[in-house]
Amino acid sequence: MDYEGYLMTHSLLLLSLFISPLLFAADSTVDAGDTRVDSDRLSATMQHMRTFGENAAGGSDRVAYSEHNLAALGYLAHLMAESGLVAKIDVAGNLVGRREGRIDGLAPIVTGSHIDTVPNGGHYDGIVGVMSAVEVARSLREAGVELDHPLEVIVWSNEEGGKNGSRSFTGAVADREMALPSLGAKTIGEGIAFLGGDPQHLAANIRHAGGISGYIELHVEQGAMLDRDGIAIGVVEGIVGIKRWYITIEGFANHAGTTPMDQRQDALYPAALIIAEVRKIITDEPGRQVGTIGRLDVKPGAPNVIPGEVMFSLEIRDLDMNKVNRLFAMISAAATAIAEANETQISFNQYYESPAAPTDKRIMALVKQSADALGLSNIQMPSGAGHDAQSMKGIAPLGMIFVPSRAGISHAPGEFTGPQQITNGANVLLQTVVAMDRLLR
């Protein structure tokens, strides 16, 4: 997009924000149990959203802070206005659409997700939750369903590149992040400003505990469990915690021809034993914890040189951080013994931690009840991937609803969830929002 195009998109976005959504005033209380989303309309908005950044490979290049991202927000602001929501861009570049509730002073019920994608990503991760949330607001209004709480539909900015949008709600975004590169050409700070935010004043977004009555997010599973077992709805138990380490083994690089086997300090051999041991420790214990070694670098890395140094990643995820820590303690003890037995040095460098975010048991029950009432099969499951929902930890009881991802494919053009599966999820979201409105008063 050239500069004129940029200005035009910005103008359209601003214009959309000021269209009054209050043409249809909520009037009477009706029973929401029979209310359903408009499946065709939801499919149509999903389809239109593809056009913002679809590439020749059929994937999406709508990375955070891109022109495609901005244009898509313009479209969403328009949809929000049509759906009875007053839209604004907040300081973090989130698009927030709000309608007021019947009782003054209640904190809002919030639902949302994201529309930014990884480069050459898919058309469902995040987008399903956003388009469904807007459709839920529209369906509720059209059915004349009023809520006691205000309802906010939020399109979080930059989920894929750091969750800066949702994290701004707890003040967790550090100043230095503004200078970090995003997945596109801009820094995160430049990107927030580009969307109409104010990167210098992110603190204006902070909501303290109780500042949100409840948070509920619909999302594609990004795994294959629902798809494999033909289950319609995942009742999410929480977003797993993640810890990541780099483990380095130092041996001694030497000539592969002239160094006898019994005189080697081969860094790769103990690394191999440790990889096998990690699998054993992770799987010997009951539960759904996962442990992954996804990166491994060998130095110097020549076929005729004994490896002198091996560095590899270790990632452990579980809903229970104590379990993550206990498993790591077992792994580090075993790894240290293996390294020593092979006359190598080992070191552990933890470089990442994302605490577990359990969902609220009451909201889990509402999600299950909603799915059951709709005749939709459902199971409880953890979310192995991270989501904006986890950013709400500490300020709101939170819940998540999963719908199937075909073959578990995600972050790729092949990502797919069928229209009926999305409609199922949107109807569960609608019923859960209504139920939360009653429960969380």
Nearer to its own copies, 11 or 350 (CB): 350
Nearer to its own copies, 271 or 435 (CB): 271
Rounded Cα distance between 378 and 190, Å, is 42
Helices (H), 173-256: 188-194, 225-229
Nearer to its own copies, 128 or 271 (CB): 271
- Read off the amino acid at residue 109: I
Dihedral Cα 97, 102, 104, 109, nearest 10 deg: -40
**Both tokens assigned to 228:** 């494999």
Contacts to its own copies from residues 178-237, by CB under 8 A: 221-225
Contacts to its own copies from residues 246-285, by CB under 8 A: 254-263, 266, 268-269, 271-273, 275-276, 279, 282-283
Q: Under DSSP, is residue 378 helix (H, G, I), strand (E, B) or coil?
A: strand
Nearer to its own copies, 196 or 307 (CB): 307
Answer for which of 292, 336, 345, 369 binds its own copies (CB under 8 A) is 292
Name which of 192, 196, 95, 72 is nearest 153 in CA terms: 95
Q: Applying CB under 8 A, what is the total number of residues that bind its own copies? A: 57
- Read off the amino acid at residue 80: M
Decide if 419 contacts 412 (C-beta within 8 A). Answer: no
Answer for which of 296, 330, 374, 439 binds its own copies (CB under 8 A) is 296
At closest approach, how far in Å is the CB of 95 from its own copies? 27
Rounded Cα distance between 280 and 364, Å, is 32
User: Which one of 40-48, 64-72, 115-123, 239-247 is the stretch in contact with its own copies (CB under 8 A)?
Assistant: 239-247
Contacts of 96 (CB under 8 A, 6+ apart): 87, 88, 89, 90, 152, 153, 154, 155
Cis peptide leading into 199, omega within 30 of 0? no
Answer for which of 59, 199, 307, 399 binds its own copies (CB under 8 A) is 307
Nearer to its own copies, 383 or 423 (CB): 383
The answer to the question of residue 386 lying near its own copies (CB under 8 A) is: yes
User: Which one of 95-103, 115-123, 178-186, 286-294 is the stretch in contact with its own copies (CB under 8 A)?
Assistant: 286-294
Cis peptide leading into 355, omega within 30 of 0? no
Instruction: Note the residues at the interface with its own copies (CB under 8 A).
Output: 221-225, 240, 242, 244, 254-263, 266, 268-269, 271-273, 275-276, 279, 282-283, 288, 290-296, 298, 300-307, 313-315, 317, 383-386, 408, 410-411
